[in-house]
Structure formats: C-alpha cells, structure tokens
Structure 1
Amino acid sequence: MNLISLFLFAAGSLLAPSTQKPVPNQKAGIEKEVFGQMPDGRDAHLFTLRNAAGMEVKLTNYGGYIVSCSVPDKAGKQENVTLGVPTFADYLKGTPSFGPIIGRFGNRIAGGKFLLDGKEYTLAANSNGNHIHGGRVGFDKKLWDATPVNGPEPALKLHYTSPDGEEGYPGTLSVDVVYTLQKDNALRIDYKATTDKPTVLNLTNHAYFNLSGMKRDVLNNVVMIKADKFLPTSKAQIPTGEIRPVAGTVFDFRTPTEVGKRINDTTETQIRYGSGYDHCWVFTDQSKKLKLGATVYEPESGRFMEMFTTEPAVQLYTANHLNGKLQGKEGVLFTRRFGLCLETEHFPDSPNHPNFPTTTLRPGEAYQSTTVYKFSVK
C-alpha cells in the first residue's frame, strides 16, 4: 500500500461509523448533595454512586429510594432503568412505591391484625381493610441516617430506629440497609435488623424496572423465575394459605417467557384478582444462600438483569395500576404495565399462616437478608 492509499484508508476508517461500544472512563466513588427539605426543615440528601464500568445509581436517604439506575444497552448507551419522579417534592407527595425500602412488613397482612405469642396486634388498615407495606407512614416515608462509603465499590449505609409501637408493631427495631454498587454492574442491597421485643419483619425494595430506558412498556420483557410454586390469593389479594404448583398455569415462568404472553388471560381467576401479575412466587430453592431467583431480558435494548437473593420468595408486580397520571424524570407518562417489580420477600400475611416460613424476629436474633440486581447485555 502506497502512502496515498494508506492515507485514504486511515481517513475512511476514521469517518466510518464505529461498531465498538464506548469505553467507560469514570472514577468509582460516591457524591452527596441536598435533594430537598423535609416538612420539619431537615435536609434530605441525594447520593450518586458510580463504578469504573460506567454504571450510576442515585439514592436518597428519604425512604431509601432508588431514584435512578443508569446502565448501558447493547450499543453502550447509558439510560435510566428504574421508574422515578422528577423532584424531591414529588417524592414527598407520595408515589406508587417507586423504589423505596419497604418495612416493617413488605406486602399485605390480612385485616391489619396478627397474633404473636398469644397477643393480638392491630396495624394500620391502609389497603381495602388490610395492612400493606408497613402502614400509613412506613419506612418509605422516614428520613434515614446516611453514611457514604467511598471506594472501588461505593456504598451507602442507611440506619433507622423504629420505636416500639410504631404503626402498631411491637418492639424497638434497629435497621441497617446498605446499598453497594459493585464492580460488575450489580446493585447489592444488604438488610440487617435487631429488636428488643418479639416482632414480625419482612423488608424489601419496591423498585419498578423498565429495561427499555423508558421507551415502552414491559410486555415484551422475557422473564424467568426459578419457582415451582406460587401463592393464590383471595379477591382482596390476601394469600389463601395454599401453596400451588405453577405447572400448567399462567404463573409458570420456569422457562423464559414474555410478560405479555399470558398476562391478560382473564379465564384465570388469579389474573382477574391481580389485574395482571401481582403474586408471590415460591422459589424451588428455599435455602438462605444467595441464589439466582429471576432474570429479565429486554430484547430491543439487549439489557439483561439477574436477580439474586437469600429470600424464599419474590413478588412479581407488573404495574397493573399505573394510569398515566404520573410523569417520570424523562418526561414520559407512566402508563399501565410500564414497569415490573421483583420484590424479594418472605410470604405475604405470614404471621397469620403457620405453614408459611416465619417472619418472627426475637431479641438476641439478627435479621439478615441480601438481594442483588445485576445488569449486563446480550
């Protein structure tokens, strides 16, 4: 090749569209800024966690919300994949649980009542006569103490002490939740808690994921759940106590299946009760080890999410009640089925079902739970 040909070849190479993905070039760490003010004047903060691979997660110590989670698609384009509202004031107004810590008890407790050691406790009946997600002022509405942890895997440690009797729950509960942005584009959530009186506890995070980057609903998402059973519910979405095999039902996600394939099968009573999927899947592996529980694949963006957990179950909720009245940070209206939740958990209404894994926590015991959401492309 002569010099002129070499020059033309080089120029053409520079002008040709690149097929390579952008190389991340950011320093891992965590930044803190004021997000807004609580009604009593206290500052709520926004924490931005970044890893060297290019992933970014924004969290607030108000309710422990995942405000955004930016990950690359198959072309390397960074986009937010969790539903959130534009301002702190919007979070204060309330959301359909767009990514907060849920406690003391994630999901439902029938009639807002349960027996523990022979004593009946009454909780707030904040959902059609039942208790849901910790009550009227649950952990999602508390300002948590926050400790940033800088380093190659930045983390945010949140602490809250829930007083005895709060929302009707017994015992003073000390809770720590640590969000860690790992090197491999995984967001890890570690929960720990202790109590000074017997109580019940079922912590989770209620993030809505939209792996398209807010471009479309989740009906094309391909979901796999490593669960051979699920919990049927009453019309009020309270577990009946039955633990039913998924085989032969619209709840069988043991092989990857599009969310939209069977979600409108109204011949299935349970689909009618939930207006879609809003049920608890019971993992085949009931061990407390960190195990793969579910995966989600968004074909157009190529984004792939793996969910690992130490919990025995997961609630898949397909945003059946979003109605287009809320607008996200990206200016997109959140319409029905615009996201999906994978809420790792013990079973709903466990305190009222002796055949369910216990959610009782006693003095001297330590509640520990871990969930990991890992992002990649394929």
Structure 2
Amino acid sequence: MGQKGTFCCKTSEGDEIYLFSLRNNKNTEVLISNYGCIINAIKFQTSKEEIIDIVLGFDSMKDYIDENYLKKYPYFGAAIGRYANRIGGASFTIDSVRYDVSMNNKNFQLHGGWKGFDRKIWEMISFDEERHFIEFQYLSKDGEEGFPGNALVNLRFELNDLNELSYTYTATTDQSTVINLTHHSYFNLNNGVGNILDHELMINSSQILEQDKDRVSTGNLIEVENSAFDFSRQSPISKKMDHSNGIDHSYLIDSQEDENLSLAAQVYSPNSHLLLEVLTSEPIVHFYAGQGIPPVMGKRGEQYGDYSGLCLETHIHPNAINIPHFPDTILRPGETYYSKTAYRISELVEK
C-alpha cells in the first residue's frame, strides 16, 4: 500500500494508514488517506501565493482514530456508505424480505452504521501522480452493518488543471442491496479559521425534503421561497441563521446544466475571495451548516465548534428505500452504481 504514499500510523487492529498527494500544475494539492478515503486537505494557492486549505480536519491522521474524537464524531472528510444520511427505523424491504440494519442513532441508521465506509481501510488500486488521480476499492461483505450482499465499491479521485477535484463512485453486488454514497468534507474557505457565517451560499434548489423530528425524510417536499432555507440567490449564511435553528436539510437540485453534472451549489468567501462550486450527477445536495460540530482541536491549533465548517453532501434522496415515490436506491446483480461529484475552486481577484 505504501507505494508513493506516506505512512502515518496504524489502527488499533494494526492496519496501516497512509496519505497520498495529488498536485496539479497550479500548485493545488489534495491529501487523501486510505483510511475512510478521508480528504485530509485541499490546499489552494492564491494569486498572492498564499496557501489556503479549505477543508476541516487534523494535522495528524492519528487524530482521526482517537477514541475521544470517535465519541463525538462528525465524519470529517470521510467517504460515507453503504447508505448516506438516514434510513428511517433502521430497516427496509427488498423483494418482500425485511432487512434490519444497525441502529446507530436514535431510531434510525445514520451514514451506514456504527462502522461504515468512513472507518474502513480501503485498498489503493491505482495511483498516477502525473495524471493526478488515485483510486481505492473496498469490499463491503454480506451482512456488514445489516446490509445484504457483497458490494464491491470503487472510489476514484481526480484533480485536473482547472482546479476541479472530482470523486467518482462505482459499485456492484452479488445480491440485491441498497447503495447511496456521498463524501463528508467540511468546507471553510478562510483556511479553516473562525466560522463560515460570513460565507455567501447559493443552492440551485427551490425545494427541500420534509423531515420528521429526527431529521428523517418523510417523502414530502417543501417550497423554500422566502423562507430561512431559501438560498436560490447567493446570500450570507449568517442572515439565514438569524431565522433558523441551524440547517441540516436535503435540497432537491432544480436543473441539469449539462449531460453529466449539474451545478448544485456554490460558496464564496468575501474574506479569502475563494469560490467553491459543487457539481454533481446526484439529485440531492444536503446542506449542513455546521451547528453542533463538537469542540475539537483541528489543524494548526484551530479550535473547531459550531459553524466552523459547512457540508454540501451529494446523494440520492435520504430514506428513499422506504419511500416508494423517491428514486430507486436498490442495486441488483449485473447492475453498476455510479455517482460523480466535482469541487471547482477559483479565486475572484479584486480589481
């Protein structure tokens, strides 16, 4: 595994954790680990040759496996599966067979269970420093966290010279199962300093998915126009937080921009002048504003907490397996699951 990767530490089970670097000709660097396919850093070089790291995380990979962190556990930068977000009742039915999956949060399953894809060692199967890509693979075995079937999952990261970092999931199975994957990076365009309330956000959506008291999707849609959830026009996040108790909601993306990826959201920092655009093949972008981030010491000694970073998680509708009119998340033998998301980073230089 260590070929071209930097050894960091070992898990309590003795598995080796590595970091791999992708760097393009603009000097943008992305650090990715085989542990949880964690994006540890996205470092952007500005026109003034400043290096700004736009994702939250830790200086040492040891901190990602620290028991104190795992007790609080906000999934910093990790791959999420087998099923992103919530499965209501931690159960579902496929072909008249009921499956009970691990109930790791209240009365639902969150982000794949107690030990989802975020806490697994992935096998690095392809790495090309010159072409700036790396691909990992993980075999999720039949019965893992209660899910049926052996699911073989590939996750490929690619950094191009337009400063676009994309990740692409593919998956196959030997038995009918459910698959709904995402990635859980927390963005802060001010080099991870302070909070994101000054960031300006646009979400390409006019509807959110209704949630119950546990934030499990009910199957209904809610129009967001003129509400605290309305980000259809770019506006400071702080303005919306004045009228809400924080946001942790799934937005239905309005339109398809091209054949492959649609613009889901964009975030701008008036402090750093960085713009992040999120493009995806998926129908949902889940916006988590970061209320409830636990108090932990992050990179460069920065104290994280409420609103230190924001998440824009792309996936199929949460709890879709239990809502017949939502898109199908069942993967059957002979089929291939596919999902692609890209983060486009640019600097709006002052004139």
Question: What TM-score does the superposition give when structure 2 sets the normalisation length?
Answer: 0.93
1:279-294 aligned within 5 A: 279-285=249-255, 289-294=260-265
Name the residue aligned to 1:201. 179
- Is the contact between residue 191 and residue 367 of structure 1 (CA under 8 Å) also seen in structure 2? yes
Q: How many pairs align?
A: 340
SS at match of 1:241: strand
Q: What is the rounded CA distance, in whole Å, between the counterparts of 1:317 and 1:74 in structure 2?
A: 30
Q: Does residue 362 of the first structure (1) align with residue 342 of the second (2)?
A: no
Deviations 1:207-228 (A, max 9, x none): 0000011222101111111112
Name the residue aligned to 2:322. 352
Q: What is the rounded CA distance, in whole Å, between the counterparts of 1:121 and 1:362 in structure 2?
A: 15
SS at match of 1:243: strand
Q: Does residue 373 of the first structure (1) align with residue 343 of the second (2)?
A: yes
Q: What is the rounded CA distance, in whole Å, between the counterparts of 1:305 and 1:42 in structure 2?
A: 34
- Is the contact between residue 277 and residue 345 of structure 2 (CA under 8 Å) also seen in structure 1? yes
Q: Does residue 297 of the first structure (1) align with residue 268 of the second (2)?
A: yes
Question: Displacement, 1:288?
Answer: 7.2
Q: What is the rounded CA distance, in whole Å, between the counterparts of 2:273 and 2:4 in structure 1?
A: 29
**Relative to structure 1, is the Cα distance of residues 99 and 288 closer, same or farther in structure 2, using a 3 angstrom cutoff?**
farther
Name the residue aligned to 2:117. 139
Q: What is the rounded CA distance, in whole Å, between the counterparts of 2:254 and 2:15 in structure 1?
A: 45
Q: Does residue 161 of the first structure (1) align with residue 139 of the second (2)?
A: yes
For the pair shown, the structure with the greater C-alpha radius of gyration is 1
Q: What is the rounded CA distance, in whole Å, between the counterparts of 2:164 and 2:175 in structure 1?
A: 35
- Is the contact between residue 22 and residue 129 of structure 2 (CA under 8 Å) also seen in structure 1? no
More strand by share: 2
Q: 1:55 aligns with which of 24, 28, 45?
A: 28
Deviations 1:49-73 (A, max 9, x none): 1111010111100000001111134
Q: Does residue 81 of the first structure (1) align with residue 54 of the second (2)?
A: yes
Name the residue aligned to 1:127. 105
1:310 partner amino acid: S
Question: Displacement, 1:31?
Answer: 4.2
Deviations 1:138-158 (A, max 9, x none): 001110001342244311110
Name the residue aligned to 2:224. 246
Moved beyond 6 Å, runs of 4+: none
Name the residue aligned to 1:321. 292
- Is the contact between residue 31 and residue 49 of structure 1 (CA under 8 Å) also seen in structure 2? no
Gaps of at least 5 residues in structure 2 are none
SS at match of 1:262: helix
Name the residue aligned to 1:184. 162
Q: What is the rounded CA distance, in whole Å, between the counterparts of 1:207 and 1:276 in structure 2?
A: 18
Q: 1:72 aligns with which of 45, 55, 74?
A: 45
1:135 partner amino acid: G
SS at match of 2:327: coil
Larger deviation: 69-78 or 338-347? 69-78
Question: Displacement, 1:182?
Answer: 1.1
Q: What is the rounded CA distance, in whole Å, between the counterparts of 1:123 and 1:264 in structure 2?
A: 37
- Is the contact between residue 314 and residue 344 of structure 1 (CA under 8 Å) also seen in structure 2? yes
Question: Displacement, 1:79?
Answer: 1.7
Deviations 1:204-256 (A, max 9, x none): 00000000112221011111111121112111111121112222322111111
SS at match of 2:170: strand
